Amino acid sequence: MVTLRRLVFVAVLLVLMLLTGVFAYSNPQPIDIDVGLMRFEQVPMAVAFAVVLVLGWLLGLSSAGIALWRSAGEKRRLKQELQYAEAESRTRQTSA
């Protein structure tokens, strides 16, 4: 199963690299990019596209990481509350 997963991953990676090459070959003209604070002139379109994709991926990864971090904290808090409730329940059973 792991080998099949690796083969699929490598195949998808190769297809993405091929598509990236086709995109870069199809769009050789440089473009000007104005991001408000800075202006970049004569940037290849493929490079600009790759930078935007990487920045978007990093933003999505960081937002997912923050959500997972909060979820882990909530899980830890609920686990502690459960342990406290179980201990309290045991003490009430023994005293009754």
Cα atoms in the Cβ-side hemisphere of radius 13 Å centred on 31: 12
pLDDT at site 82: 94
Count of other CB atoms within 10 angstroms of residue 1 = 5
Helix, strand, or coil here: 43?
strand
Residues whose CB falls within 8 Å of the CB of residue 41, separated by 6 or more in sequence, listed in order: 30, 32
Residue at 91 is within a domain: yes
Q: How many domains in the chain?
A: 1
Contact 44, 24 (CB under 8 A): yes
Per residue in 38-74, pLDDT (tens digit) is 999 999 988 888 888 899 999 999 999 999 999 999 9
Judged by average pLDDT, the poorest of 5-9, 14-18, 26-30, 67-71 is 26-30
**Residues spanned by the domain of 80:** 28-95
**Two tokens at 45?**
């379109």
The answer to whether residue 21 sits within a structural domain is no
